[in-house]
Copies of this chain bind each other. A is one copy, B any other.
Amino acid sequence: MSLTHALLGLLAVAPASGYELTREFEHELGRYAWQAGHTSIYPELGKLAGRGLVRVMHEGARGAKTYDITPQGREELRTWLLGPPGGGTTVRNEQVLRMFLISALETDDQRRLLTRIAENTARAAAELREVLAADAPPDRGARAGFGRLAGEFGLRQNDAVHEWATWALDQLAVDAEQHSAAAY
């Protein structure tokens, strides 16, 4: 399961509590790569501890448990990351699905939806550019490096979708032209 490796990956960078891990999934990680709520994270941490891939490093205030990756956990993570990408590579993205289904709409609706997508991606890209420009940012914990990698990915991702939407809008315009020309 991928959640297993997502958690191992986060813990490999720095120890964290279940709560902190849950927060990580609310940012770029959950937005572009893999979603998870605390209701799957807590039980999964328990299972990982049972398998000896992580361990409870410290129990703090408010019942907080800080988890740490073990050498076996690191090994498992490395194997998975460097292993064959072949396997049952899960892909599931509702936004992208919407984009693919655009051709099922009438032309007006297509234009409307594509315009919205173009605007949203432009805004998201601008925001990311701002965050990234504030270089060596106010350090979102020990995961600053992680955040930068993710931010740069998100930026390119949004730019790519923006360009795609713009291209699709152009196509619509071209088609409309040809249509009215054919009316002669």
Please report A residues at the B interface, Cβ cutoff 8 Å. Answer: 2, 5-6, 8-10, 12-13, 28-35, 77-78, 81-82, 85, 89-105, 109, 112-113, 116, 120, 145-146, 149-150, 152-153, 156-157, 159-161, 163-164, 167-168
- Please indicate the chain B residues that have their CB under 8 angstroms from the CB of A100 in the complex: 9, 28-29, 32-34, 146, 149-150, 153
- Please indicate the chain B residues that have their CB under 8 angstroms from the CB of A93 in the complex: 32-34, 90-93
- Please indicate the chain B residues that have their CB under 8 angstroms from the CB of A149 in the complex: 99-100, 102-103, 168
Q: How many copies does the complex hold?
A: 2
- Please indicate the chain B residues that have their CB under 8 angstroms from the CB of A157 in the complex: 157, 160
- Please indicate the chain B residues that have their CB under 8 angstroms from the CB of A81 in the complex: 98, 101-102, 104-105, 109, 113
Contact B113 A82 (CB under 8 A): yes
Give the shortest distance, in Å, between A77 (CB) and chain B (any CB): 6
Asked if A164 meets B156 with Cβ closer than 8 Å, knowing A34-B91, A35-B91, A109-B82, the reply is yes
